[in-house]
Amino acid sequence: MTRKNISPDEKLQLLLARFRDVPARDPAAEAAGRRDFLKQAAGWRASASRTAQPSGAGAADRRVSFFQGRGFLLFPAGLAAVALALLMFFGGSAVTVFAAQNSLPGDVLYGIKTFSEDAAFFLPVSPQTKVDLTLRFTDRRIYEITGLQYAGRPIPEFAIERYQDELDLVLALAAGMDDPGMAISLEQASSHADGQLRQIVQLLDTGPDVSVLVLLQNRLREHVQKIELGKTAPQEFRLKIREEQEEKAGIDSNGSENVSQTPDTAPTIGRPSKTPDPGGDDTDADKPTKDRGKAAEFKGTIAAVDAGNLTLTLEDGSNRIFVLTSETKIRIPGFGHDATFADLKVGDGATVRAKKDESGVLVAESIDVEPVQPVLVRYAGTVTDYQAGAGIAIREKNGTLRTFLITSDTKIIFDPKDKSKNLRVGSEVTIAAVRDASGGTPTASEIAVKAPKAGKPATYKGKIAAVDAGSLTLALKDGSSLAFVLTGETKINIAGLGRGATVADLKAGDDATVRATTDESGALVADKIDVKPVQPVLDRYSGTVTDYQAGAGITIREKNGALRTFRITSETKITFAPKDQEQILEVGSEVTITAARDASGGTPIANEIAVKRKKKATPTHPEASLLPDVQICAGPPGWNGREVEKISWSIL
């Protein structure tokens, strides 16, 4: 590149410009990245739609889709290390253990895999960790079953029984915890079971013999039912699990079939054989045999309700389920005696008077509801984004941005003076929303739109996104956009063009500051537009043309030997030196090319190609100085006058 008298800063920038060129991104990698990103979003969207999911990063981790752990990774590294140490102590090798992790039931290495899993229970870890681990193992079992099914191999009974043992173990561990711990474990178990059920349903289409899969499906459904029981009636759940364990222990002690004692499954080392009684949660009403027929009162918050049941969360955090009958009296302030179960709302406080029937079920005699007034908070500001039926964002006066969800229940109220009745970006609104204690995006219950104030100009900064004779759209920094009406009164000032600029001089991509006034219809009418055109950074390159395709492209070699290629468009100006009568651009011409810097790293477009005048060869004829001064006035098309010298020589 040849540049005269360039400053150190320019030289530095030129050097940095060398760094600008990056090769094009691999389209396949880009597409894969995009796909993964959208897939991840879809997973989160699905999980967000589920209710009763705890929030936070930990919960998010638990929500990863089924099989995201991909086989071997399901086995935690720390525990794998312990299992590895144990197995090596007994004579295995590291390679064997790791190779075994992907084996399937019936494979030679499968016994090592299950042993290494059981060995993990030697660890002095918390019951919660054991639940987590066991749930991962249940995922593994389904992973194995999937592998067997796709391979057309039979699913051995011991694989199913091991899976069942692990499901039972999760519930037993959960039942041994206090209420909060159990709630977390059951939530995890529920999430895993959902994924596993979905996987089994998919497998049902994979082969003619799906009887084993149907069996698995049924067992999983029973498992899910138990989880639901645990969520709604912890004490009942504990009793049930304890009974099941005692029953199982009885069978085992009699020496009859113990399904876990298969050649491929190690004894359940360290696994709890009996569910500890956490205690402290018993109430009179929970002792059906003792106090049957005696009514008790329960005070709490309605957690769920339908035509047949009501679930109440008590002050200690535990849940009680009550059966609703036609005899159940429902009293809600303001409803008189007409209230029905349909008027009961989740979140309302309630006192339930109930007694147990002969089967131990709590039957509600009466329900007194204390409706909880939702804490409404109001926020006033200017709308920066609005998606009808989905969401709205406003900027408060102090600059805070707030986002709200919009549902079918959201009321939009317009000021009676507002004839336009148009809620849009720029509208002044006051939003009433129920405070969301969980920290999630609150839902707008009411959006009061103020009448646009005419005559108060405001200034907006952004980039011109679109422009035509009557309107201009400005893309603001926050990603939103605003549309302005252009009138004959709109003053346009473009740096470099002065105030004489017109709408035709406005270009998309330029930075602009628009001062606008809201008219009575609510439209933003632009009073003044100040534009700072995005000045392309121009570079100049001088050299000799090595290739030239008119209207397409040109390549030059700079003095330092560098080759540079530029695109030629209809906008490219080709200029010649004033005294250059030939005015030819061809291979060999000396040129200076001005081109806009292309940030994308692509071939730059030549803005201007300045062709230098060709140096004439010095005549060598001794009488050269006597040559007549021939002036070419006209010639045939394409004739460049070059032959004149020859003619002159021949004359001489």
Distance CA 460, CA 452 (A): 16
Cα–Cα distances (Å) from 111 to 104, 120, 165, 269, 432, in that order, read: 10, 14, 16, 15, 62
Nearest to 234 by CA among 293, 165, 159, 303: 303
SS (H, E, C) 252-301: HHCCCCCCCCCCCCCCCCCCCCCCCCCCCCCCHHHCHHHHCCCCEEEEEE
Q: Which is nearer to other proteins, 299 or 559 (CB)?
A: 559
Our separate counts of H helices and E strands in the chain read 13, 24
Cα–Cα distances (Å) from 81 to 22, 69, 91, in that order, read: 43, 18, 15
Q: Which is nearer to other proteins, 498 or 561 (CB)?
A: 561
Q: Which is nearer to other proteins, 36 or 228 (CB)?
A: 36
Q: Does 60 bind other proteins (CB under 8 A)?
A: yes
Q: How far is the CB of 207 from other proteins (least distance, A)?
A: 33
Q: Which residues in the 26-45 window bind other proteins by CB under 8 A?
A: 26, 29-30, 33-34, 36-38, 40-42, 44-45
What is the distance of C-alpha 499 from the center of its chain? 46
Q: Which is nearer to other proteins, 147 or 533 (CB)?
A: 533
Q: Does 480 bind other proteins (CB under 8 A)?
A: yes
Of 50-58, 196-204, 262-270, 290-298, the segment contacting other proteins by CB under 8 A is 50-58
Q: How far is the CB of 321 from other proteins (least distance, A)?
A: 32
Pick the binder of other proteins from 372, 380, 562, 584 (CB under 8 A).
562
CB 505 within 8 A of CB 525: no
Of 219-227, 327-335, 399-407, 412-420, the segment contacting other proteins by CB under 8 A is 399-407
Rounded to 10 deg, the angle between the 127-151 and 211-232 helix axes is 160
Pick the binder of other proteins from 396, 478, 547, 643 (CB under 8 A).
478
Q: Does 9 bind other proteins (CB under 8 A)?
A: yes
Q: How far is the CB of 52 from other proteins (least distance, A)?
A: 16
Pick the binder of other proteins from 290, 456, 477, 615 (CB under 8 A).
477
Q: Which tokens is 520 given?
A: 């009575």
Q: Which is nearer to other proteins, 97 or 444 (CB)?
A: 444
Q: Which tokens is 193 given?
A: 């079971």
Q: Does 93 bind other proteins (CB under 8 A)?
A: no
Q: Which is nearer to other proteins, 360 or 391 (CB)?
A: 391
CB 122 within 8 A of CB 86: yes
What is the per-residue binding string for other proteins in 365-394, x denoting contact by CB under 8 A?
--------------------xxx--xxxx-
**3 state SS of 40:** helix
CB 413 within 8 A of CB 445: no
Q: How far is the CB of 238 from other proteins (least distance, A)?
A: 34
When computed from its CA atoms, the radius of gyration of the chain, rounded to whole angstroms, is: 40
Of 157-165, 218-226, 313-321, 471-479, the segment contacting other proteins by CB under 8 A is 471-479
Q: Which is nearer to other proteins, 210 or 405 (CB)?
A: 405
Q: Which residues in the 10-29 window bind other proteins by CB under 8 A?
A: 11-13, 15-26, 29
Distance CA 196, CA 291 (A): 41
Total residue length of the chain: 652
List of residues contacting other proteins (CB under 8 A): 8-9, 11-13, 15-26, 29-30, 33-34, 36-38, 40-42, 44-45, 48, 55-57, 60, 385-387, 390-393, 401, 403, 405, 439-441, 477-480, 537, 560-563, 565, 599-601
